[in-house]
Structure 1
Amino acid sequence: MENNGRKKILVAPLNWGLGHATRCIPIIKALLDYNFEPIIASDGDALELLKKEFPELNAIELPSYNITYPKKGKGLRKKLLSDSPRFMKTIKKERRLIKLLAETEGLSGIISDNRFGVRAKDIPTIFITHQLKVLSGSTTWLSTKLHQNIISKFDECWVPDHKGANNLSGDLGHGTFDKIQLKYIGPLSRFQKQKTNKIYDLIVLLSGPEPQRTILEQKLLNELEHFNGNVRFVRGLIKNSQTKQTQNNLTVYNYMTTQELEKSINESALVLSRSGYTTIMDLAKLEKKAFFIPTPGQFEQEYLARRLKDDKIIPSCNQDDFKIEMLNSIEDYSGFKSSPFQTDYENLFSLF
């Protein structure tokens, strides 16, 4: 059941922060450019963000994993373990819904960004991840094995990174992995670097599961009372309408569209944010200087931040330790230098 000859491709990112959804934006745009008909599917803020970016596309709500973080980061592994029975139920619900969608929509392909249940028999299925190795402390071997077992059920795994040594994901996205059809597609970013005057001294970008998003927001707002420069503060809360509050040198937005955010980051001298992988891809594309505060207990973000700090590219610190004066250390780090890469979408989409 194709619409005017256009093949329908389901694109379904995980709703865990906004990174999975935002890195799917260039893929959705490329599908449109190549005359496919993308159907977007997710839940929560991830779905709302994509609906705002692509209001003309069919949008489907998927069952929610309801991922939240403990207030104490070191309890994350235990909480995820206790939540695993609920996750498994959600994955089964996903599978049933995707099977139905495949039939009713006449899908020609499925692209899942870290949604385990978004696959169907007899339809080409793609799994997007930068975590072939899943860090979980002493249980890394087990979490990695489980993740790779899930990935192997998909036809291909697209890794949004460079294949060689000059990469962004390090050990997370590189190594020897059996039974997985890997394709390194290059870093994904919805942004373009612009030559512009620097208007803001700092832009703060927040995202991620609660309650850690709110905990960091409150801490940074308190710290910014002692910052003299002009600041744009993006809370990462997707609502029906945009709100904007200005007090002295600080302007706070609940969210920004891609176009607004691209402009604001380009116009900012420094970036303060989590060390999520999508953020790293975006800031590398824009060649920015930044300071990272990894989400407490999230081994992936802690690893990425530590790697960039050790390589003298981006400084970082633990959430509890952050003081606004630490931004001065950015001068001692190189910042991101872009490594140009053109994703070969024609080759990737030939699977469909």
Structure 2
Amino acid sequence: MTSRDILHMRRAVGLAARGQGGTSPNPVVGCVVLDSSGDVAGEGFHEYAGGPHAEVAALREAGERARGGTAYVTLEPCDHTGRTGPCTGALLDAGVARVVVAVTDPNPVAAGGLDTLRRHGVEVDTGVLAEEAERVNAAWLTFIRRGRPYVTWKFAATLDGRSAAADGTSQWITSPEARADAHRLRAESDAVLAGVGTVLADDPRLTARAAAPRRARPVLRVVADSAARTPASARVLDGEAPSLVAVADDAAVPPHLAGAVRLPRAGGGIDLHALMAELRGRQIVSVLLEGGPTLAGSFLREGLVDRVVGFLAPALLGAGAAALGPAGVPTIGDIHRLEFEEVTPVGPDLRVVLRPLPPKES
């Protein structure tokens, strides 16, 4: 791996990020093509599901300059025909001499591209900036490797961890800038999930009121409602975007929730693993968990949170609802440890992005 490899793969990772929110259920991928002299000839990224893959977009821009050149790709080029043809064929037809890949494809349906390229005499190198490429494609990789959607828990709180005042009021703890950023997170997700407690307390719309990426389907609004308490008047049922209410299989369901999905009961609520399986079956790759504290605690307890995004206001309440409910931590040895990935000012607030640390082996 050379400094030039790192430079161009980092650019490919940045290109891949531009597809966030638009490619599901496909991965985000970026590609940079150099000519035989080592100059950049073309760039591309996978913009939307069903559209040209990153390699095809970059090769189109490069044209004949790709012959004898090098392609840097964040994910192993696909080797199958789906809505588009195999990217391995496009690379071979373009006469690319070397392909550098960050992450090999864990999807057995599309994998095998590197072997095909090698059989045709193409030089192949892998693992360049793999960690960065995995991070930008974390949602899809989790979906394929773990067989469930990638879950981001988003919360807004004061510095002392309160999400509402003692009288229950919570609008607004954070700034307009933070709320706009939260809507960006919604727009980049396949589904937004809230518990029925949040629906009853706040009557949220759960829609993405932000510039939406080019996506093949709207964001799905999901309510976890074990006792089928979501009222007919709830804005989450207003038809503005598709909705899914998940109830326990033993719940008495009113007529307006006749289309609800019944799932097994567990721990006093819905079996969250069954909910994740239901969403996976609907090709939901990423879920934004927005509340409330009880549901967030349950997701943490079950090991189903992959990323935490917190918006912290420079304010103190001292009393009121906590941002997080019981999360299966009876003693300090069971604490959920996280690592900071990003700390960014957003207006007067701070946005912190964290990922859970793997549990220590005993």
> What TM-score results when the alignment is normalised by the length of structure 1?
0.29
> What TM-score results when the alignment is normalised by the length of structure 2?
0.28
- Bigger Rg, structure 1 or 2: 2
Identify the structure with the greater helix proportion. Answer: 1
Identify the structure with the greater strand proportion. Answer: 2
